[in-house]
Structure 1
Amino acid sequence: MTDLRTVVSEIAQEMAGRSERGTVAHYIPELACVDPARFGIAVMLADGTQIAAGDCDEPFSIQSVSKVFTLTLALGKVGDGLWRSVGREPSGNAFNSIVQLEQEQGRPRNPFINAGALVVTDTILSGHQPREALGEILRFLHFITGDDGIGIDEAVAASEKQTGYRNAALANYMKSFGVLDNPVAHVLGVYFHHCAIAMSCRQLASATRYLAFLGRNPDTGHSVISVERARRINALMLTCGHYDGSGEFAFRVGLPGKSGVGGGIIAVVPGIASVAVWSPGLDPVGNSRLGTEALEMLARRMHWSVFG
């Protein structure tokens, strides 16, 4: 049997020697300052064992990885009614594209592109002040990880607000169609802040575990979400979790996953493990270049794939 510890260590060593590392997200000033030489990986198994290497304890801005957790919360709040406002299909366009919104009367293709995530954020915000909505998101992360130290990088949030013109355009456009219920400024504020949550690979692998084990925390046996909902979130991660690179990721890695422009990627090996990798350099569609390569290597060497 292939030894997971050896595989994780070898992947970290191999990634450390790579010269082609992609390009950091320069359009968000705080992310442009991150060292592209960083690489971390963490794998968490059913019994709580964590196998990690590299910069696995270094907090980083999780960015769009947060959309998995906000989707979980929104579905818990309004159930399948959420799908009246956001679709479940791959977009085939850039994550911040406005073109499809015009063609489809302001209804985003899926909850993981920026427009869809703004709708999800609007759902969580309804009935709350922005600070309360952010508190709910953080409490959920604290609950699923058992780690109350997870918080928001305020410098990144401010940086996103200063440069978030595209997201403001998306939100205002959807508001014109009546898709958003809350004030645009409030939706954007909560969105920028939950994208600016800082977590390490170890924390992210822990946070993702409920999706690897049928919606349950395997430590306690307590249900986080229903089995059906966990399966559906995993399906959306597989088909839509990497923007217009989702098909390529499914082809190369074969696992449900979600990326963020901070360089983080989470992945789910159903019934076996949850995984988080981080490398700040991105490929042309906004996914971590070395993170994707590392997950491809891990899946291949451990024979992990939802396709058998």
Structure 2
Amino acid sequence: MREPIQNRHNISELDLPDILGTIHEEVTARLGEGEQADYIESLADVPMDRFGMALVTVDGDVFEVGESREPFSIQSISKVHTLTLALEAVGDELWERVDREPSGDPFNSLIQLEYEKGIPRNPFMNAGALVVADVVLSSCDNAEQKLLDFMRRRSGNADVGVDEVVAKSERQSGHRNIAMANFIKSYGNLRNEVDRVLDFYWLQCSLKMDCVDLARSVQFLSNQGHCGVSGEDVVSEELATRINALMMTAGTYDAAGDFAFYVGLPAKSGVGGGIVAVVPHVMSLCTYYPGLDEKGNSLLGRYALHRFTRMTGLSVF
């Protein structure tokens, strides 16, 4: 049994409902900013008047505001969960096939792959996530069901599933990912058939969850690897720390430095408009707003997290 770690932050002294209410008011005044991910047809028409935010403490208390129960496409947020499954399956062997460095390039860039002989720069770029997907596929007989079961146990929502409309859009617009997977395969860094890897990757990106689901699904990263929803130890305390480190340095793509500067939390974004974030030993959070900035991160989701850390002092720095 892990011993609790004393943290300098006493969240009982914070009026979290009032803080979330203030953030909601500020964000509501800016609804409409940013652009949807229009290269995925099913995301291009998502209404821009949606904002939700939820946080889950290590004790399991939930605080939420706005459309926090409205399901949306989690997209690349799923890379945190598949990375966890891959590390569970092969441990540090994963780092022989994927690096752990920030990229400095867009999430769907192919540029570094040739220079680095098919070894993706980190597991959160699309290239790295494809290799991670390949590892998960090789580790079990039914990777799709394993991922669904994992997401349902972490979130406590047995209805978490795939949005088939989004999955179809992913396949129809996935030309760059197809090229990327074949390029990685040419270097021998995919063990499964390319189509199989792509199908699993598109499935993980097409999962549909809400802010509360997602905040709960990464609570184990704020709680020394322990999932309060299921009561299970998901990963070791050390591994939770390492995953958080990767989220801090690569979770928001080539905006990771800027995100660390303004928000100061490990985070993972998705082009569906979601961002999950972790305050180690304290809480996990999720924001949702479909308008993206030029880097592909939720514009007002980032703003909401920025305001939250400034109003609460809950930053890793």
Q: Which TM bucket (shorter chain)? A: over 0.9
Structure 2 equivalent of residue 97 of structure 1? 109
Amino acid in structure 2 at the alignment position of 1:144: R
**1:31 counterpart = 2:31:** no
Aligned CA RMSD, in angstroms, stands at: 1.1
Q: Unpaired runs of 5+ in structure 1? A: none
Helix, strand or coil at the partner of 1:202: helix
Aligned to 1:166: 176
Tell me the alpha carbon deviations over residues 81-126 of structure 1, each in whole angstroms, 9 at most, x when there is no partner: 0000000000000101111001100100000000000000000111
For residues 152-202 of structure 1, the C-alpha deviation after alignment (integer angstroms, 9 at most, x for no partner) is 101101100001000001100000000000000000000001000000001
Specify the alignment match of 2:22 in structure 1: 10
- How many residues are aligned here? 305
Which of the residues 151, 161, 166 maps onto 1:151? Answer: 161
Q: Mapping of 1:133-282 within 5 angstroms?
A: 133-218=143-228, 222-282=232-292
Match of 1:61 in 2: 73
Q: CA deviation at 1:19?
A: 4.6
* Distance in 1 of aligned mates of 2:137 and 2:228: 30
Q: Quick one: which of 260, 283, 294 aligns to 2:304? A: 294
Report the Cα distance in structure 2 between the residues aligned to 1:133 and 1:144, rounded to whole angstroms: 16
Q: Identify if the C-alpha distance between structure 1 residues 220 and 167 changes in structure 2 by more than 3 Å, giving closer, same or farther.
A: closer
The answer (yes or no) to whether the contact 1:2–1:301 under 8 Å persists in 2 is no
CA distance in 1, matches of 2:184, 2:96: 14
Instruction: Tell me which of 87, 96, 100 is aligned to 1:88.
Output: 100
Deviation, 1:244, is: 0.1
Task: Mark the CA change 1:268 to 1:127 in structure 2 (over 3 Å): closer, same or farther.
Answer: closer
Corresponding letter in the other structure for 1:97: S
Check whether the contact 1:263–1:288 (CA below 8 A) recurs between aligned residues: yes
Report the 3-state secondary structure (helix = DSSP H, G, I; strand = E; otherwise coil) of the residue aligned with 2:227: coil
* Structure 1 residue aligned with 2:8: none
Deviates more, 1:274-283 or 1:2-11: 2-11
Report the 3-state secondary structure (helix = DSSP H, G, I; strand = E; otherwise coil) of the residue aligned with 1:126.
helix
> Is the CA contact 2:106–2:295 (under 8 Å) kept in the aligned structure 1?
yes
Task: Tell me the CA shift for residue 17 of structure 1.
Answer: 1.3
**Residue identity matched to 1:91:** S
Unaligned runs of 5+ in 2: 1-12
**Residues 25-75 of structure 1 deviation map (CA, whole Å, 9 limit, x = unaligned):** 000000001111110000111221111011100000000000000000000
Instruction: Label 1:47 to 1:127 Cα distance change in 2 as closer, same or farther (>3 A).
Output: closer
Which of residues 37, 47, 59 is equivalent to 2:59?
47
Identity %: 50
Whole-angstrom CA distance in 1 between matches of 2:282 and 2:31: 32
Task: Quote the residue 1:306 is aligned against.
Answer: 316
